Structure 1
Amino acid sequence: MEFSTLCNRIFWECILAYRKLGNVDAPLANPFAASTIEARLYEKNWIDNVQWDLEDIIRDPNIDPVRALAIKRRIDQSNQNRTDLVEMIDSYFLERFSGVVRRPDATLNTESPAWAVDRLSILSLKIYQMQQQAIDLTATPEHRASCQAKLDVLLEQRADLSQALDQLLQAYQNGEKVMKVYRQMKMYNDPALNPILQGKKN
């Protein structure tokens, strides 16, 4: 099975499970064994589902400012968790291709595999949400048609990204690409690097 097929299948399974609950506070019930790549992919998409809903909630023009700030803090933490999980997925790829002998003409890639996986996860969410709009019988025919056109583009985009990811992984396996990862080193959540968290003025 191509890796993108595994990703897309797990992401869709996770979306359907989360949407049955429809609650940002619902506990994650991961059906896969802990620390496996399948579990990482499921958790990654769950984080994206929760954050999608939090981003919707915080845009309520009538939201209480105190609640909005609490949600903003939660989104910040979610972004950190998302980044940490992407880096765990990249560690999986680093291990997977650690024994590959690079060709002398091996090239670098602008994006690591896990960040492509991240984009696939979010694309799956966009597809689900646009699909719901396209089949909403309470909406106007014009609205449904517009959403269907957007859905078609999203499906094409997912197919292209899936193919590109699988081609990249094959290039790593063949030694045609150099598997190299730079950690994000986000500064805003780090008390040692964020002057505000240190009580200093920037």
Structure 2
Amino acid sequence: MGGPVEDSGRIPKVTGSVQDWTQLQIDCVRRWHDEPMANPYSGWLRWVCQQHAFNFELWHEEDVARNPNVTDARIAEVKRSIDRLNQQRNDWIEKLDDAIAESIQQSSVVVAEDAPINTETPGSAIDRLSIMSLRLFHYAEQLQRQDADAEHRSKVEARWLLCQVQHADLSASLQTLVDDIFAGRKRHKTYRQMKMYNDPSLNPEMSGS
């Protein structure tokens, strides 16, 4: 990726549909398995891609961490990488929600007084869809294994089909949520996750105290 997107202070306007965002995630997963990671998008889609990239890297670092043949030193290195990537992933969930909040304000959306708040923010749902796109890709890989027996393929196919249903359900639910937010039928807030483990002032193990 060449590092995170530079934060120029300009928050992009939310553009496109949920289908556009999820197709970006699916396309990037396929492309990044065959060529170096890159983010060719602009505006809001660039931010969606950047958040997705941290999940892509996390997925593969976690695979390394589960390898029984790697050394303890390598595991420690990977664990630190996972912590760093997970923090960046969470930071970018909040950035996506901040961009949505800014777009709502710029669009002069009038929020109904009794508008409820959803149990999950759009940024969190985009994150879940990102992870699901990775899961779908890797289950599809398993289906193509020539050394797998029929039982394995049957189990994988059932899970792959269920993942497709869940991906479609969440995509549709997110589109409804986004539509409701921009119509003022639901209230939107960025919820700060306030992770403690990567903050030396809050984690005594990091400060050595």
TM-score, normalised via structure 1 length? 0.90
SS for the counterpart of 1:115 is helix
Structure 2: unaligned runs, 5 residues or longer: 1-14
Q: How do residues 127-142 of structure 1 correspond to structure 2 at under 5 angstroms?
A: 127-142=136-151
Of 74, 88, 99, the match for 2:95 = 88
RMSD across aligned positions (CA): 1.5
Please name the residue that 2:24 is paired with: 10
Please name the residue that 2:7 is paired with: none
The list of structure 1 runs, each at least 4 consecutive aligned residues, that deviate by more than 6 angstroms after superposition, is: none
Of 126, 144, 153, the match for 2:153 = 144
Identity %: 35
SS for the counterpart of 2:120 is coil
Aligned-pair CA distance for 1:2: 5.9
Contact kept? 1:191, 1:197, Cα under 8 Å: yes
Contact kept? 1:58, 1:68, Cα under 8 Å: yes
Of 124, 129, 139, the match for 1:120 = 129
In the alignment, the residues of structure 1 paired with residue 193 and residue 53 of structure 2 have an alpha-carbon distance, to the nearest angstrom, of 21
Please name the residue that 2:55 is paired with: 48
Please name the residue that 1:185 is paired with: 194
Please name the residue that 2:69 is paired with: 62
Contact kept? 2:111, 2:184, Cα under 8 Å: yes
Q: Deviations over 1:106-133 (max 9, x none)?
A: 1111111000000000000000111111
Equivalent residue pairs, number = 193
In the alignment, the residues of structure 2 paired with residue 19 and residue 71 of structure 1 have an alpha-carbon distance, to the nearest angstrom, of 20
Aligned-pair CA distance for 1:191: 1.9
Contact kept? 2:97, 2:189, Cα under 8 Å: no
In the alignment, the residues of structure 2 paired with residue 143 and residue 197 of structure 1 have an alpha-carbon distance, to the nearest angstrom, of 43
Of 62, 74, 77, the match for 2:84 = 77
Please name the residue that 2:9 is paired with: none
Contact kept? 1:2, 1:166, Cα under 8 Å: no
Contact kept? 1:18, 1:46, Cα under 8 Å: no
Q: Deviations over 1:8-60 (max 9, x none)?
A: 11101211121004xxxx5x421113xx2111111222221111111111111
Aligned-pair CA distance for 1:138: 2.4
Aligned-pair CA distance for 1:88: 1.0
Q: Which amino acid aligns with 1:78?
A: L
Contact kept? 1:102, 1:178, Cα under 8 Å: yes
Q: Deviations over 1:76-134 (max 9, x none)?
A: 00001101111111111101112211112211111110000000000000001111112
Contact kept? 2:65, 2:79, Cα under 8 Å: yes
